[in-house]
Copies of this chain bind each other. A is one copy, B any other.
Amino acid sequence: MKRDSRLSSVLHALIHMAERDAAMTSTELGTCLGANAVVVRRTMGLLRTAKIVTSDRGHTGGWRIASDLSTVTLRQLHEALGEPIVFAVGNRNERTKCLVEQSVNAALDGAFAEAEALLLKRFENITVADLAAGVAKRQTKRRARHKSRTR
């Protein structure tokens, strides 16, 4: 399967929107992400349903942030995207009468469930604002490097 990069995309989009603090069109976001404007609308539409952003049509329209990004966690974004399947690996037949397969499934499911729980727990503890702050730090560093080179 093609890997699902929508969480990565919406994070990227939200932070750019936060830096701008003004409406951004799907085309602008698409250019930013290197993605198609229709795909942007499709994906951002899920965030609108979750009331994380709003959208307006016509002139001066586009996408706007509609909630405090310090309260929006990666977990919430994952949920807003419909909790897509996390693993590319899984059992062959989820329901089976074969005892062997049942045992195998139980063991694998346990391991996968544990890993997914850990991932979602990490997602709960990271807000979009945290990531935005990380970006600000990187920008400061880059400016410092540039300054020292040109001095």
Q: Which residues of A contact B (CB under 8 A)?
A: 1-5, 7-9, 11-12, 15-16, 19, 32-35, 74, 84-93, 98-108, 110-112, 114-116, 118-119, 122-123, 126, 130-131, 134-135, 138-139, 142
Contacts and interface: CB of A to CB of B under 8 A. Distances in A.
Classify the secondary structure of A's interface with B: helix
Contacts of A116: 115
A94 to B, nearest CB: 10
Contacts of A32: 98
Copies of this chain, complex-wide, total 2
A89 B138 contact: no
User: Which of A19, A84, A92, A139 has the most chain B CB atoms inside 10 A of its CB?
Assistant: A92
Given A84-B88, A89-B7, A102 B138 contact: yes
Given A103-B134, A105-B8, A135-B100, A88 B85 contact: yes
